[in-house]
């Protein structure tokens, strides 16, 4: 289970250069259409489906106070530029319950000038893969997408809005954003 932890460390060590990888987005929205994945729920033994939209973020901003604690102030600063956090994760009893076309439909949405794949880790054995994409406009980050897949699990995280990639880890456990180390553990790596 420890294999993804190294990948995660590499992803966040690269975070300072994410801003340098900026490609103009020409005003495109960073939110992906993940509705095609809804059909996988019937095949999955466990489903996590989290939607934190602009309304929820605005509500959270009202309740967070920089006066109460440094942590609240930090979270408020991080989420103030967000428009949404969308997570879909499916765990299956056996291999082959989802297809590469499910992942490819996500990748196809990321094949625009607005998106750049900044991390791609692929393993033939046992087929555990992690991809991280960065959506940008000029030097502003508009979104981050993480796709983590192994034969028995598929997880997609779509963070929409202006965010400093170095601070994404600080969102863990807030507004439904999962702990990334838990996702990677579930994908068979520690």
Q: List, for residues 72-107, the tens digit of each pLDDT value.
A: 787 788 888 889 989 999 999 999 899 889 999 999
Task: Give the total number of structural domains in the chain.
Answer: 1
Alpha carbons 109 and 22: distance in angstroms, whole number: 17
The larger pLDDT score, comparing residue 66 to residue 118, is at 118
Check residue 179 and give its pLDDT: 56
DSSP state of 179: P
Residue 25: pLDDT above 50? no
Q: How far is CA 35 from CA 47, 137, 155, in A?
A: 14, 25, 14
Expressed as residue numbers, the domain containing 70 is 3-186
DSSP state of 142: E
How large is the average pLDDT for residues 132-152? 89
pTM, two decimals, is: 0.72
Q: List, for residues 29-66, the tens digit of each pLDDT value.
A: 578 999 999 999 999 999 999 998 999 988 888 888 77
Name the packing angle between helices 70-79 and 54-63 (round to 10°). Answer: 150
């Amino acid at each position: 289970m420890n294999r993804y932890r190294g990948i995660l460390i590499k992803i966040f060590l690269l975070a300072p250069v994410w801003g340098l990888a900026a490609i103009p987005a020409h005003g495109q929205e960073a939110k992906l259409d993940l509705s095609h994945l809804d059909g996988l729920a019937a095949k999955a033994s466990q489903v996590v489906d989290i939607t934190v939209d602009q309304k929820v973020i605005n509500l959270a901003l009202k309740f967070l106070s920089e006066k109460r604690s440094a942590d609240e102030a930090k979270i408020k600063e991080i989420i103030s530029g967000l428009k949404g956090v969308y997570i879909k994760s499916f765990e299956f009893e056996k291999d082959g319950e989802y297809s590469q076309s499910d992942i490819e439909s996500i990748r196809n949405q990321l094949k625009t000038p607005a998106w750049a794949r900044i991390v791609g880790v692929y393993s033939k054995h046992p087929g555990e893969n992690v991809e991280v994409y960065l959506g940008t406009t000029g030097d502003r980050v508009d979104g981050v997408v993480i796709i983590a897949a192994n034969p028995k699990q598929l997880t997609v995280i779509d963070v929409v809005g202006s965010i400093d990639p170095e601070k994404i880890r600080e969102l863990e456990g807030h507004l439904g954003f999962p702990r990334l180390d838990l996702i990677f553990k579930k994908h068979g790596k520690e």
